[in-house]
Amino acid sequence: MDRDTLAERIVRAPFHRWLGLEVEKADATGVELVMPWRGEIVSRADPPIMHGGVVAALIDTAGLYAVLAAGGSAIGTAYMHVDYHRPVVSGTVRVRARALKLGRRISVAEAMVYGEGPEPLASGRGGYFPP
């Protein structure tokens, strides 16, 4: 699937709309999603730090879209692993993902989350079921 198709598809999910997720880039080599900050996504308010579950949502979603962009098929998540490297603080958040394996029974992708700086704030991987 190309960027336009994925951009149209991502806003169909109510949780993606609530997060404000957008598809910045998508091709066979990987995808990049961006998300604006919003006050409700934090686990601590002062300083605001993104909840680990929201970080996981970014990795889960980007991984599935990376499988789709690489020509694989994926309809749901089988499992996910997330490593939290540094707190995700306010500002635009980016997540980049690429497919590691397109499979008949499961496809695997890895993803990295970035803030304003060059260092990854979190990274992880997910396994996705075909329809």
**Using CB under 8 A as the criterion, which residues of the chain lie in contact with a second copy when the complex forms?**
12-18, 39-45, 51-54, 56-58, 60-61, 76-87, 100-101, 103, 105-106, 108, 110, 120, 123, 125, 127, 129
Q: How far is CA 117 from CA 70, 89, 92, 114, in A?
A: 27, 11, 11, 7
What is the C-alpha separation between 25 and 106, in angstroms, rounded? 24
What is the C-alpha separation between 1 and 62, in angstroms, rounded? 14
Please measure the distance between the N-terminal and C-terminal CA atoms of the chain and give it in whole angstroms. Answer: 15
107 DSSP β-pair partners? 128
Task: Please say which residue, 52 or 71, places its beta carbon nearer to a second copy.
Answer: 52
Task: Please say which residue, 55 or 69, places its beta carbon nearer to a second copy.
Answer: 55
The least CB distance from residue 31 to a second copy, in Å, is 16
The least CB distance from residue 22 to a second copy, in Å, is 16
The least CB distance from residue 97 to a second copy, in Å, is 14
The least CB distance from residue 48 to a second copy, in Å, is 8
Task: Please say which residue, 34 or 80, places its beta carbon nearer to a second copy.
Answer: 80
